[in-house]
């Protein structure tokens, strides 16, 4: 829970920094417009002036304001907000008896039921078979980000059943649970129904 709270704080800091950057840009634009008005009023008052050959024309427009110094902070905050840890504890957030369902506060338990029974059409899927842990983590993050940008809501992530793993335990299954729970775009996920992949896949719901 602490990790999710930290991510929420980062998102708030990012939003605050973006608002400050927008305000600084607005003030700079207003100052540039004011100086331009004063220049035009001066030209109207004194009439057209023909410069001498030795005197170059003077540009009274102000130089563009320097790049906002908070851009690096924005980039770093965005990267932190998208980071996914293998160590975060989400057991208290797995809200079904078998520990195979997750939902954000305020999301109905009916949503998990619909996900598990395959009531919603899957709009895209990611197959993690053959990927190492770091590759899979990066792929999950990119997949969720891309789906959100495309306006998709119902996804399938195939992590496998572990038939070829030592002890026949799925290597990525618990990792995928943790990664998805840390993505703020994800509001719920549940183990897929049999026809949709069963124990080898999760059905994921993104925020609208």
**Tens-level pLDDT at each residue, the chain (208 residues):** 555 555 666 677 777 877 887 788 788 888 888 888 877 777 776 665 565 665 566 666 666 666 555 666 555 545 544 555 555 555 545 554 455 789 999 999 899 899 989 899 999 999 999 999 999 999 999 999 999 999 999 999 999 876 555 544 567 888 899 899 989 999 999 999 888 888 899 999 999 8
Strand order in the sheet with 101-103: 101-103, 186-191, 201-206, 154-158, 124-127
pTM: 0.56
Among candidate residues 63, 82, 101, the one where a domain is terminated: 82
Domain with residue 115: its CATH number is 3.30.1370.110
A 10 A CB-CB count for 4 gives: 15
User: From CA 169, how far away is CA 173, in angstroms rounded?
Assistant: 9
User: From CA 4, how far away is CA 181, in angstroms rounded?
Assistant: 8
Among candidate residues 62, 82, 102, the one where a domain is terminated: 82
Residues 54 and 124 grouped into a single domain = no
H, E, C per residue of 45-76: HHCCCCCCCCCCCCCCCCCCCCCCCCHHHHHH
Residues 113 and 179 grouped into a single domain = yes
Residues 44 and 110 grouped into a single domain = no
- pLDDT for residue 69: 56
Residues 61 and 95 grouped into a single domain = no
According to DSSP, the residues that pair with 189 across neighbouring strands are 102, 204
- pLDDT for residue 75: 56
Measured in whole angstroms, how far is the alpha carbon of residue 139 from the centre of its chain?
Answer: 14
Residues 100 and 34 grouped into a single domain = no
Q: Which domain holds residue 19?
A: 2-82
Residues 159 and 68 grouped into a single domain = no
Q: Strands 154-158 and 101-103: what pairing?
A: unpaired
Report whether 157 contacts 180 (CB < 8 A): yes
Among candidate residues 82, 100, 134, the one where a domain is terminated: 82
User: From CA 94, how far away is CA 77, in angstroms rounded?
Assistant: 27
């Amino acid at each position: 829970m602490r990790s999710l709270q930290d991510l929420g704080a980062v998102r708030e800091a990012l939003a605050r920094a973006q608002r400050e950057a927008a305000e600084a840009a607005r003030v700079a634009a207003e100052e540039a417009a004011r100086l331009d008005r004063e220049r035009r009023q001066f030209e109207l008052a004194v009439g057209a002036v023909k410069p001498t050959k030795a005197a170059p024309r003077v540009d009274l427009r102000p130089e563009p304001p320097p790049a906002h110094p908070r851009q690096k902070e924005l980039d770093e905050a965005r990267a932190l907000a998208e980071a996914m840890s293998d160590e975060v504890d989400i057991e208290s957030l797995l809200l079904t008896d078998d520990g195979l369902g997750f939902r954000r506060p305020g999301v109905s338990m009916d949503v998990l039921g619909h996900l598990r029974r395959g009531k919603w059409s899957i709009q895209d899927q990611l197959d993690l078979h053959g990927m190492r842990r770091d590759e899979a983590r990066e792929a999950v993050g990119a997949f969720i980000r891309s789906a959100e940008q495309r306006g998709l809501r119902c996804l399938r992530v195939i992590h496998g059943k572990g038939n070829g793993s030592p002890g026949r335990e799925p290597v990525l299954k618990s990792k995928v649970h943790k990664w998805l729970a840390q993505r703020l775009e994800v509001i719920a996920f549940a183990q897929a129904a049999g026809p949709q992949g069963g124990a080898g896949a999760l059905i994921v719901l993104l925020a609208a």
